[in-house]
Amino acid sequence: MDFNFTEEHLMIRQAAKDFAETELKPGVIERDEKQLFPKDQMKKLGELGFLGMMVDPAYYGAGLDTISYVLALEELSKIDASAAVAMSVNNSLVCFGLEKYGTEAQKEKYLKPLASGELLGAFALSEPEAGSDATSQHTTAIDKGDHYVLNGTKNWITNGSSASIYLVIAQTDVAKGSHGINVLIVERGAEGFSIGPKENKLGIRGSDTHSLMFNDVKVPKANRIGEEGFGFKFAMETLDGGRIGIAAQALGIAAGAFEMSTAYAKQRKTFGKAISEHQAIAFKLADMATEIEAARWLVLHAAWLKDQNLPYAKASAMAKLFASEVAMKTTVEAVQIHGGYGFVKEYHVERLMRDAKITQIYEGTSEIQKMVISRSVLK
């Protein structure tokens, strides 16, 4: 493994950093307070190629590798995790599966506008009783010959009201268990498809999180991805890649909190010297820096494995597990270092602390990551 970034990697990282500072940071506190989706900023991200980073240029993508993707996600997440998760879902959970397993007709119709940023996508797996358990789908897609009839409810769907294209996991044949699950492309505006109110969340408040309701929605057979019963495998493989994106988001949240804390500690004075010169604060910063660097290499290793077409399920679960825990720990310490200022919104770290918590939950809780890892190591 080459530990040196290419010139292209460095350019992508700098472009993402510049975008975060100039486009995301100015309104991020207001968007958080008012739960405003960064619509204009997402459009600009699409124009810059960040919504189809790993998609082949033949389908209007940027044709970049996974390392470029996680470098960009880290920089965006330092400032605005809500925008970062919207980008992550479009890349990891929607474009990835469509490009790898979609038909040419599906790629022409759906992947091209998704990769170019013309449209935004959503991935609908979680349900009121299922969470990220793809084997426990209560949403059904009954085979009616040339189409399916879709019924059910999906919960906690990122980009829920901003997306135009939804990849929906549904059960077609209960008797076949995981082999009776399909993934269907559903378009916004389909008859019988409705979107619930926006969830009022602790963190990532700018992200559109909604429930989706399907009431006798007709979905053409042409909108099924893969063969009959392929949905479970599709969901599992897509989640493996999605965990790399969430790990990068967690890493960015932690790194952002660390950078803000370091800058604050250098300028804030107590007892006649900067608080960074007090050993209690200096040691906190040392621990934060060490854990963030360890998380960064876990994330990069998972991304590298994916780029090399090597198995990466265990590595992505490890990266997601560790990086999310580091994000939570680091942001709590960041608030502590800032003292009273850390408790007010204008210093950003309280928002990063709230945003950090979700990284331990979505794409599977820490316990689910440990299940994935333990199954691998106990083979």
What are the residue numbers of the active site?
A: 363
Question: Within 10 Å of residue 364's Cβ, how many Cβ atoms?
Answer: 22
Buried b (16+ CB within 10 A) or exposed e, 170-184: bbbbeeeebebbbbb
Q: What is the torsional sign of CA 243, 311, 178, 151?
A: positive
Q: Match 């680091």 to its residue by tokens.
A: 330
Terminal Cα-to-Cα distance of the chain (whole angstroms) = 25
CA distances from 314 to 3, 84, 149, 359, 374 (A): 20, 23, 36, 17, 9
Integer Cα distance of 296 and 263 in angstroms:
21
Nearest residue to 25 (alpha-carbon basis) of 79, 83, 85, 84: 79
